Amino acid sequence: MTLATATNEHLAHISNVLIYSSMAVYTLAFFAHIAEWLFGSRSKVARTAQALTAKGEQGAGAATAPAVTVQTAGGTAVLERPKVVTRSAAGARDVPDGPGAHGGDEQGDLYGRIAVSLTVVAWAVEAAGVLARALSVERAPWGNMYEFNITFSTVAVGVYLALLALKKNVRWMGLFLVTTVLLDLGLAVTVLYTASDQLVPALHSYWLYIHVSTAILCGAIFYVGAVSTLLYLFKDSYENKLAGGGKPGRFATSVLERLPASASLDKFSYRVNAAVFPLWTFTIIAGAIWAGDAWGRYWGWDPKETWAFITWVAYACYLHARATAGWKGRKAAYIALIAFACWLFNYYGVNIFVSGKHSYAGV
């Protein structure tokens, strides 16, 4: 055994240790997020319910709707109680965003800050594990499904932290993100684990860095959009129930009241998906160019190519639906979730259950 081989094996071992260590820190972040939700104040999380029921509480004999006072604080319009519910032509409601998982409470906010700090540490450790994996074989760390998984989760968390750094209100996503990252890494280190090794000849191309890296980034951003879309559906159902005079359960109220309004979640998911769609288009084009170099044809309806195109069509339909009045809201959200499901199947389903030219990496 040469010294170089031993060094590579040593780096591969370090990578595995770092990935497991990041899982441990992500677990701590998970519990910190749970504490943020549990110990955050519940006295400040009824703003949606108050907004949607204020009009009904005035009674049928009320001559006029209660006045609305709008104050300006730091350039942001703040709607003071009592709140009036209005509906636009598209059906959107004039309701405020929730205060976040911490419920506007200092103790809950403290746990939330601890959770974010632990997430940063876990992300740094995981990124170091991905880098060590790359250095162990001196190539891009996405030559098989295990490497793709650990890189994908690293990029997904990186997107979340970047949005936080840009002062975007996305801390409500932290618990859902950390939970799915732990599931992703658990799947990676058990079912999908592959020992560090060299690539097959077909993957020795600079297009590996271009095509696969953009696919990973697109998937991470699509994931952020999918989480927001799913939460939008729950929050919209909650608001519909309140508007209809229903009484949601205590658990639903405690959780959903803290999230942004359904209109905010819908807008966020649309902007995220719309922003990354051109990059996904480039990803497919880059893959076609690489196929031309590697296999002598740009497109052959290989299962991976076919499902990449299906994913592109699904997201194109979603963007078109959002621009069509009759398909905004829940209908468009369903299309967005179907599109993300196509992306997931393109990676997991095609690689595991379907044979094709992209099956060289195994799991």
Q: Count of alpha carbons within 13 Å of 78, Cβ hemisphere only? A: 8
On whether the CB atoms of residues 134 and 24 are closer than 8 A, the answer is no
Residue 229 resides in a domain: yes
* Orientation of helix 174-190 relative to helix 106-137, angle to 10°: 30
Q: Is the pLDDT of residue 62 over 50?
A: no
167 vs 317: which has the higher pLDDT: 317
Looking only at the bridges linking them, the beta strands covering 76-79 and 70-73 are antiparallel
| Each residue's pLDDT tens digit, 165-192 | 998 889 899 999 999 999 999 999 998 8
Residue 33 resides in a domain: no
Instruction: List Cβ neighbours of 271 (8 Å cut-off, separation of 6 or more).
Output: none
Supply the Cα-derived Rg of the chain in whole angstroms.
23
pLDDT at 86: 38
| Each residue's pLDDT tens digit, 85-141 | 333 334 556 677 888 888 878 888 899 999 999 999 999 999 999 999 999 888 888
Average pLDDT, the chain: 81
- With cut-offs at 50, 70 and 90, classify the pLDDT of residue 328: confident
On whether the CB atoms of residues 105 and 89 are closer than 8 A, the answer is no
pLDDT at 254: 80
For range 296-300, the mean pLDDT: 79
**pTM above threshold 0.85:** no
How many angstroms separate the CA atoms of 289 and 283, rounded? 10
Q: Domains in the chain: how many in total?
A: 1
73-77, 127-131, 137-141, 144-148, range with the lowest pLDDT: 73-77
Residue 36 resides in a domain: no
Which residue has 């195994």 as its token pair?
A: 362
Exposed/middle/buried for 67, CB within 10 Å: 0-12, 13-18, 19+?
A: exposed
Tell me the residue range of the domain where 305 lies: 138-361
Q: Is the pLDDT of residue 207 over 60?
A: yes
How many angstroms separate the CA atoms of 307 and 298, rounded? 15
Residues of 197-229 as b/e, b for ≥16 C-beta within 10 angstroms? Answer: eebeebbeeebbebbbbbbbbbbbbbbbbbbbb
Q: Count of alpha carbons within 13 Å of 329, Cβ hemisphere only? A: 14
Q: Is the pLDDT of residue 81 over 50?
A: no
Residue 357 resides in a domain: yes
Element (H, E) at 73: strand 70-73
Residue 53 resides in a domain: no
pLDDT at 103: 80
Residue 166 resides in a domain: yes
On whether the CB atoms of residues 85 and 254 are closer than 8 A, the answer is no
Taking CB atoms within 8 Å and a gap of at least 24, the contacts of 72-77 are none
Residue 97 resides in a domain: no
Residue 261 resides in a domain: yes
- With cut-offs at 50, 70 and 90, classify the pLDDT of residue 28: very high
* Orientation of helix 106-137 relative to helix 145-165, angle to 10°: 140
pLDDT at 144: 84
Exposed/middle/buried for 165, CB within 10 Å: 0-12, 13-18, 19+?
A: exposed
